[in-house]
């Protein structure tokens, strides 16, 4: 499994980062996860655009041009033994001489790319749906930055696992925000409700795809603040992410979502549109 680290291609198992790296000591870095289907990166331009936004937000320059990122990713993807992949890319503020929260005068970013097999959710999860728990969102107020400091997200996701669930749905001040590692949509009376992007949630690439598909196929949509009550009383809840695509949440805190506690009709439509769209751009 080939990785890329600071200008070099090398086996992943041999990639080493100094312990004084700010990514290691402070989680001072940003990342992307890019799904790859049949060795073709999905929505690469959008992922690179979001990476640039994350880097700007943490005051780091984009270390490589889009063409260079693309070249690195293509090379790593080509070298992998598996067809469907999940490319992980990370930029940290690099090493420091002494441990100091303030930035070094001149940062030498650490740039790392690796690939792993992409495991899309088994059909069973789509057919029966997943269970989720809820939690108060206790993260910071810059969740729009795809930061490597993921301690809160890890704790929140583990909370789901501890309850035998697949995701934790986050509410803040009475509003639906997102999941521990996903965006969340609600459907009520045939209308798709999407929390409006702001500094409290990650602007998901999959979130954008879902909204584009809804518009294309004429699914009525409202992008706006979604109340916690609206989410709890929705007919359907979905979670979306690059690796999970779109999944139906059928239980929230041991209560059925909608009447049946089964995947709803809007989900089934959207899932079909999503697969169709993937196939059309991957051809």
Residues known to be catalytic: 146
How many of the chain's residues bind ligand PMP (CB under 6 A)?
13
**Cβ 206 to ligand PMP shortest distance, Å:** 3
Q: Name which position in 77, 96, 131, 202 contacts ligand PMP (CB under 6 A).
A: 202
CA–CA separation, 237 vs 270, rounded Å? Answer: 12
Decide: 93 and 127 in contact? Cβ < 8 Å.
Answer: no
**Cβ 213 to ligand PMP shortest distance, Å:** 13
- The owner of tokens 């108060």 is 136
DSSP structural state of residue 95: B
Which of residues 3 and 184 has its CB atom nearest to ligand PMP in the complex? 184
Q: Name which position in 178, 186, 195, 200 contacts ligand PMP (CB under 6 A).
A: 178
Residue ranges of alpha helices (H) inside 109-259 are 123-128, 151-162, 205-216, 228-232
- The owner of tokens 């293509």 is 74
In this chain, which stretch among 185-193, 204-212, 246-254, 275-283 interacts with ligand PMP, using CB under 6 A?
Answer: 204-212
Q: Does 181 bind ligand PMP (CB under 6 A)?
A: yes
CA–CA separation, 125 vs 114, rounded Å? Answer: 27
Which of residues 3 and 202 has its CB atom nearest to ligand PMP in the complex? 202
Which of residues 93 and 157 has its CB atom nearest to ligand PMP in the complex? 157
**Cβ 132 to ligand PMP shortest distance, Å:** 14
- The residue among 17, 106, 7, 149 whose CA lies nearest residue 64 is 7
In sequence order, the β-bridge partners of residue 85 are 36, 117
Binding positions for ligand PMP, 209-268, rule CB under 6 A: 240-242
Decide: 189 and 210 in contact? Cβ < 8 Å.
Answer: no
**Cβ 83 to ligand PMP shortest distance, Å:** 20
CA–CA separation, 8 vs 188, rounded Å? Answer: 50
Q: Does 134 bind ligand PMP (CB under 6 A)?
A: no
**Cβ 133 to ligand PMP shortest distance, Å:** 16
- The residue among 197, 184, 185, 171 whose CA lies nearest residue 266 is 185
Angle 175-180-184 (CA atoms, 0-180°, nearest 5)?
Answer: 50
Which of residues 86 and 110 has its CB atom nearest to ligand PMP in the complex? 86
Q: Does 183 bind ligand PMP (CB under 6 A)?
A: yes
Residues that bind ligand PMP (CB under 6 A): 153, 178, 181-183, 202, 204-207, 240-242
């Amino acid at each position: 499994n080939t990785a890329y680290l600071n200008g070099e291609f090398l086996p992943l198992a041999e990639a080493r980062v100094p312990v004084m790296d700010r990514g290691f000591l402070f989680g001072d870095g940003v990342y992307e996860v890019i799904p790859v289907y049949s060795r073709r990166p999905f929505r690469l331009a959008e992922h690179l655009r979001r990476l640039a936004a994350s880097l700007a937000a943490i005051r780091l320059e984009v270390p490589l041009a889009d063409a260079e990122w693309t070249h690195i990713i293509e090379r790593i993807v080509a070298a992998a033994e598996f067809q469907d992949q999940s490319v992980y890319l990370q930029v940290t503020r690099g090493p420091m001489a002494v441990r100091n929260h303030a930035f070094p005068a001149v940062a030498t970013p650490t740039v790392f790319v690796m690939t792993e097999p992409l495991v899309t959710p088994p059909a069973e999860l789509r057919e029966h749906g997943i269970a989720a728990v809820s939690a108060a969102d206790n993260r910071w107020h810059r969740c729009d930055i795809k930061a490597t400091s993921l301690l809160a997200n890890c704790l929140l996701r583990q909370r789901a696992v501890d309850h035998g669930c697949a995701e934790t749905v986050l509410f803040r001040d009475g509003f639906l925000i997102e999941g521990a590692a996903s965006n969340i949509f609600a459907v009520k009376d045939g209308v798709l409700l999407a929390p409006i992007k702001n500094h409290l949630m990650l602007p998901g690439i999959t979130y954008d795809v879902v909204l584009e598909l809804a518009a294309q196929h004429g699914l009525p949509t409202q992008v706006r603040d979604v109340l916690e009550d609206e989410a709890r009383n929705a007919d359907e809840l979905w979670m979306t992410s690059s690796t999970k695509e779109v999944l139906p949440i059928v239980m929230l805190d041991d209560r059925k979502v909608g009447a049946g506690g089964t995947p709803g009709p809007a989900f089934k439509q959207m899932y079909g549109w999503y697969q169709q769209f993937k196939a059309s751009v991957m051809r």
